[in-house]
Amino acid sequence: MDKNKHTAILLATYNGENFIKEQLNSLYSQTCKDWTLYVHDDGSTDNTATVLREFSLGNSNMTIMDYPKMGNPKDNFMSMLEKVDADYYLFCDQDDRWVSDKIEKEMNHMHLLEEKNPGKPVLVFSDLYVTDRRLNILSNSMWEHGGIRPELLKDFSLGGAFQYVTGCTMLFNKEAKKAALSHPYAKATMHDIWITLCVLKEKGIVSGIYEPLVYYRQHESNTLGASHWEQYGWLKKFLRIRYIVSRDIKHWRMLHVLNYGTYSKFLYNKYIKRRFITK
């Protein structure tokens, strides 16, 4: 990594005492160590804040940010993004575990893309292992498990219809941050989706790494996670349809802020045009 470049890991926490130590240990076991960890706790009522303070005592490249709670993951992450000045950013969830060379592999991919696309917003992301709360692997590929197709994220018109980028796998450059903050994000559903859309809107690069680099822990306290709807009965499947419709409407309203176009255009790209796109 370029020693003159500043890389920031942004870790948003809330009542994460059960898993936060394991995640912190995975960060400090990375093969790439040239970064600073910024943490903002969103008003935890358990021992998360204590764990963070104790861990920071032995790690000079860990900064605990002290400002009022934001109330939800999206605003917590976006507030940190606004406050931290860096050349590269990674979002980090409190309950996952990173593969030891995650940062190194993503940074290598980032540099290759920046060399080919100087001055452009660039965002890279990876596949994930889906695990249970003990990190036993349930699926070796969240992309295969969820039918995710990163190759569709090539331009705003088509790629804007999808929600394929998981925040805890993202690495993006300063130009991508500028793109994300150049539009009002009040209607954004989540921070990771918003940044991806803004990069595509500004004709930037969104590129997937076809390798799982995060152990994505599924447990009862997850804000969002991998779905297992195939195991449920007809009532649950009906509720799943309602959920999808509601999610699509919220996603289109977010796209509308970015002048995407009509709802029918969104539905066509998401459910029809994608069928004719190959890798």
Helix, strand or coil for residue 106? helix
pLDDT at 159 over 70: yes
Q: In this predicted structure, what is the pLDDT of residue 186?
A: 93
Q: Please determine, for residue 259, whether its predicted confidence score (pLDDT) is greater than 90.
A: yes
pLDDT in tens, 216-227: 999 655 544 455
pLDDT band at residue 275 using 50, 70 and 90 as cut-offs? confident
Q: What is the pLDDT of residue 223?
A: 46
**pTM, two decimal places:** 0.92
Q: What is the pLDDT of residue 3?
A: 64
pLDDT value, residue 35: 98
Looking at the chain, the whole-number percentage of residues with pLDDT higher than 70 is 92
Per-residue pLDDT band for 22 (boundaries 50, 70, 90) equals very high
pLDDT (mean) for 11-16: 97
Could you give the CA distance from residue 207 to residue 123 in angstroms, rounded to a whole number?
A: 6
Token digits of residue 24: 């912190």
Residues 53, 73: Cα–Cα separation, whole Å: 20
Give the Cα separation of 121 and 117 in Å (integer): 9
- How many whole angstroms separate alpha carbon 127 and alpha carbon 166? 8
Tens of pLDDT, residue by residue over 229-250, are 455 566 776 678 899 999 999 9
Distances (CA, A) of 205 to 125, 144, 149, 209, 228: 11, 22, 15, 13, 31
What percent of the chain has pLDDT above 90?
87
**72 or 3, which is more confident:** 72
* Average pLDDT, integer, range 185-198: 96
Give 95's pLDDT tier (boundaries 50, 70, 90). Answer: very high
Q: How far apart are CA 156 and CA 159, in angstroms?
A: 5
Among candidate residues 138, 136, 124, 168, the one with its CA nearest the CA of residue 23 = 168
d(CA 168, CA 214): 8
pLDDT the model gives residue 270: 95
